[in-house]
A and B are shown apart, each in its own frame.
Chain A
Amino acid sequence: MNTTSTRAFYLAGLRDGAPFLLVVVPFGFLFGVAGTEAGLSIAQVMGFSVAVIAGAAQFAALQMLQDNAPTVIAVVTALAVNLRMAMYSASLAPHLGGAPLWQRALAAYVLVDQVYAASVARYETTPAMTLPQKLAFYFGTATPLVPVWYGATWAGARAGEAIPPSLALDFVVPITFLALVGPMLRTLAHLAAAATSVAAMLALSALPYNSGLLLASVLAMIVGARIELWQTRRPVMRDAA
């Protein structure tokens, strides 16, 4: 009885994860293409996709490598892109925190945007789920996404070797990033953070060791957080007055 329902939740996870293949396939493929174009070997491209599984951070690291940024700057910039995952980890902890250590370690490995989004949505709509059911659902969403991510990267890396330079592949990285940014511009605070990031980066681009981006990012985070705070506090103050 219990195993049946766990199995049902695993299958439900598979179903909820599958639509995200539409994002994972082109993104993985493009990383493969961009990595090969940048001069990485297939093993290195696959190393990124298997060990990191975070497209945006992988593209950031790749760009930093091409810019000859120092190792520390390249790593810190790529990790800055992934800081949002600390937020995911914190919000999943109440749901999965009771699992054995090895399962939490594995859950952390596959904690990508899509797995997080699908799982948290289900935990909210079905609050009565038990820990095994939650874990089954979580790993269900990851099951189609992770292997396909590897495969799409590999296909892109193979294709990248054959694509002629006239196709302007230098622009794969900017287009992929901008495509990720577009949907994020959903509030004034997000818009202001993005604008700050661009303006500060252009103003600071001459700073040594590619450190301008890190400074611009910190500034942009502060602007976003400030505006959010200002927008949520204003109505309260008006009520008080």
Chain B
Amino acid sequence: MSMTPAHIWLVIVLVALGTWLIRFSFLGLIGGRQLPPWLLRHLRYTPVAVLPGLVAPLVLWPEATGGAPDPARLLAAGATVAVGAITRNVPAAILAGAGTLFVMLRLAG
């Protein structure tokens, strides 16, 4: 890992500034202008468009196993999504995933 403190701080500052600007964007405009519907329609899907792609390689090719697919991690990922989708409860989904991983790794020895 070649993360230098200066690089990490630069990322923190830029993400913080950018995030605040996104949050302030329309609150900052006087008169409360509305976003065009086509833009709103795309923005609605940002979290669900970014997060699954971000985790997909981590789930399929975990670094801890040298990139080889690992049944314990695959099952844990499946349990997390399933419990999250059914209960709509984030902490419950985290517990389900962590619990599955813990049990599976124990079983695998």
* Contact in complex: A27, B58 (CB < 8 Å): no
* Contact in complex: A80, B22 (CB < 8 Å): no
- The answer to whether A194 and B48 touch (CB under 8 A), given A173-B58, A179-B80, A225-B38, is yes
The size class of the interface chain A forms with chain B is 35 or more
* Contact in complex: B48, A181 (CB < 8 Å): yes
* Contact in complex: B49, A179 (CB < 8 Å): no
Q: A195-223 interface mask toward B, CB cutoff 8 Å, 1 = contact, 0 = none? A: 11110111001000000110011111111
B23 to chain A, nearest CB (A): 4
Complex Cα gap A56–B28 (Å) = 24
The size class of the interface chain B forms with chain A is 35 or more
CB-CB under 8 A from B11, the residues of chain A are 61, 64-65, 71, 74-75, 78
CB-CB under 8 A from A77, the residues of chain B are 50, 54
* Contact residues, A40-98 vs B (CB, 8 A): 40-41, 44, 47-48, 51-54, 56-58, 60-61, 63-66, 68, 71, 74-75, 77-90, 92-94, 96-97
Contact partner, B52, options A30, A75, A176, A181, Cβ 8 Å = A181
Tell me what chain A mostly uses at the interface: helix, strand, loop, or mixed. helix
* Contact in complex: B46, A97 (CB < 8 Å): no
CB-CB under 8 A from B80, the residues of chain A are 174-175, 178-179, 182
- The answer to whether A216 and B53 touch (CB under 8 A), given A93-B32, A104-B28, A225-B41, is yes
Give me 21 A-to-B residue pairs in the complex whose CB atoms sit less than 8 angstroms apart, sorted by A's number: A51-B12, A74-B15, A78-B18, A81-B46, A81-B47, A82-B19, A82-B46, A93-B29, A97-B30, A104-B24, A105-B28, A176-B94, A185-B84, A189-B45, A194-B49, A195-B52, A197-B49, A217-B46, A220-B45, A220-B52, A225-B42
B residues adjacent to A (C-beta < 8 A): 1-3, 5, 7-16, 18-20, 22-35, 38, 40-60, 62-64, 73, 76-77, 80-91, 93-94, 97-98, 101-102, 105
